[in-house]
Structure 1
Amino acid sequence: MRLEEKKALIFGYGEIGSHIGKILTAIGMEVWGIRRSIEEDYQDQWDVHITGIDSF
């Protein structure tokens, strides 16, 4: 199975989740991360879409 151009959702986008997101974007996946509490949705330096659990 090819992972490029697939989507991934990471629940718990903290220290470990962000490292996983970095790897997944490097192989061409679109990555979304869910954090427990954030002020507003944003994209990190690896273009991972970050949102809060309340938005999900």
Structure 2
Amino acid sequence: MRVVIAGGGTGGHLFPGLAVARTLQRQRPDAEIHWLGGQRGIEREIIPTEGYPLTLL
């Protein structure tokens, strides 16, 4: 399963998506999760520390 999560900018948009990603990873360890985010958002710092690939738009 491949999943793209788009969101960020602020924690209010980032952390719910991160909760979904973590839950999905637990339930489907084979899932490939990739993030899309903005150049200036908080996701630039948070997502890489969680181990998910991140593409900044």
> Shorter-chain TM-score category?
0.5 to 0.7
Q: TM-score, normalised by structure 1?
A: 0.59
What percentage of residue pairs aligned between the two structures are identical? 16
CA deviations on 1:9-48 (whole Å, 9 max, x unpaired) are 0011511111111112222211001111238xx7443x32
SS at 2:24 equivalent? helix
Query: Aligned-residue CA RMSD in angstroms?
Result: 2.2
Q: Which has the higher contact order (CA 8 A, sep 6+)?
A: 2
In structure 1, runs of 5+ residues without a counterpart are: 1-5
Moved >4 Å (runs of 4+):
none
Q: Which residue of 2 aligns with 1:7?
A: 2
Task: Give runs of aligned pairs for residues 8-23 of structure 1, distance below 5 A.
Answer: 8-13=3-8, 14-23=14-23
Q: Which residue of 2 aligns with 1:36?
A: 38
Q: TM-score, normalised by structure 2?
A: 0.58
Aligned residues: 45
Larger strand fraction of residues: 1
